[in-house]
Amino acid sequence: MLPGLELLHGIPDHMRTLVVIPALLTDAKTVKELLARLEIHYLATHDRSVHFALLTDWKDCDTESNPHDGALLHQAVAGIALLNQRFGPSVNGDRFLLLHRRRVWSESEGVWMGWERKRGKLHELNRLLRGASNTTFLEDQSRRLPQNVRYVVTLDTDTRLPLETVRRLVGKLAHPLNAPQFNPETRRIEKGYAILQPRVTPSLPVGHHSTVFQKIYSTSSGIDAYSAAISDLYQDMFGEGSYAGKGIYDIDAFEAALADRVPGRHASKP
């Protein structure tokens, strides 16, 4: 088990963290669910140095724009504005953010799509947070990006975030014994960690997806890759493992280790 800082008084400013949900704006129902999920994550965290964002693309299209694009984007923008109004301003940047990307042409896929899909979202987010102006994120003059963000917690659209999970993740990654040490010659993290990926467990369906009978008698069923991921052989033996897209990472260490290592193959560069 990794050592961690307790952070009894909350996450300090120099450990500022952004919680993001990479997603697609496909229809009005999806947008509503994404906004609700973001609000729930905030209520489970409620820390002044944590911000929350939707990282969104439109769905793939044969043309650069679609007649429904504007309405979906407007719904998402209005929802984020309502969340900021409801929970009040943040000292350093907006508490809730919508970071939406334009489509670019993908030669290999033969469609207009978000550049490099989810990986592209996170890579461009890291660059945006470090001051880049040549990303595919749409410009928004009213948006106030948080400054000096150190960590990003990335979640799937259906991920649930238990109370104080973000604080515990930050405490683990910020501990001096876990701090990433990057070797510029080998271009590798040779000590510490750039990414921490907690165990993810499945939950029973809730609400209209479940029944009274199921709630009483059912347990987790089927084969679920996450529930069995107690130990990763490669991580235990070599200190390396596969990143499944849910966890926390140090922005600068993440970008330094991956710089020029992953070629862009799915879409034209922004």
User: Tell me: the pLDDT tens digits for 218-243?
Assistant: 555 555 555 555 566 777 777 667 77
What CA–CA distance (Å, rounded) separates 42 from 98? 15
What CA–CA distance (Å, rounded) separates 121 from 146? 17
Quote the pLDDT of residue 207: 57
What CA–CA distance (Å, rounded) separates 137 from 42? 23
pLDDT in tens, 63-78: 999 999 999 999 999 9
Q: Spell out where the chain has E strands.
A: 17-25, 50-58, 96-100, 104-106, 111-113, 151-154, 181-183, 188-191, 195-196, 247-250
Indicate if the pLDDT at residue 32 is higher than 80: yes
Quote the pLDDT of residue 114: 95
Quote the pLDDT of residue 2: 87
Note the pTM of the prediction, 2 decimals.
0.86
What are the start-end ranges of the H helices in the chain? 28-45, 69-87, 117-129, 165-174, 212-217, 233-238, 251-258
Quote the pLDDT of residue 181: 93
Burial zone of 225 (CB within 10 Å; 0-12 exposed, 13-18 middle, 19+ buried): exposed
CB atoms within 10 A of CB 90: 16
Indicate if the pLDDT at residue 270 is higher than 70: no
Residue 120, CB-side half-sphere exposure with 13 Å CA sphere: 25
Task: Identify which of 14, 91, 79 has the alpha carbon closest to the alpha carbon of residue 53.
Answer: 79
Quote the pLDDT of residue 266: 46
Distances from the Cα of 3 to the Cαs of 19, 58, 171, 178, 205, in angstroms? 22, 40, 9, 8, 33
What CA–CA distance (Å, rounded) separates 160 from 204? 12
pLDDT in tens, 19-29: 999 999 999 99
pLDDT in tens, 180-209: 999 988 888 889 999 998 877 666 555 556
Helix-helix angle 251-258:117-129, to 10 degrees: 120
CB atoms within 10 A of CB 89: 10
Quote the pLDDT of residue 228: 53
What CA–CA distance (Å, rounded) separates 42 from 50? 8
State the distance between the two ends of the chain, measured CA to CA, in whole angstroms.
41
Token pair for residue 254?
């993440």
Quote the pLDDT of residue 123: 94
pLDDT in tens, 130-182: 999 999 999 987 889 999 999 999 999 988 888 999 999 999 999 999 999 99
In residues, how long is the chain?
270
- Which residue's structure tokens are 């033969």? 110
Q: Please state, rounded to an integer, the average pLDDT across all residues of the chain.
A: 87
Q: Which residue has the higher pLDDT, 212 or 177?
A: 177
Average pLDDT over residues 37-43: 96
Confidence of residue 1 (pLDDT cuts 50, 70, 90): confident
pLDDT in tens, 107-127: 989 999 999 999 999 999 999
Quote the pLDDT of residue 259: 84
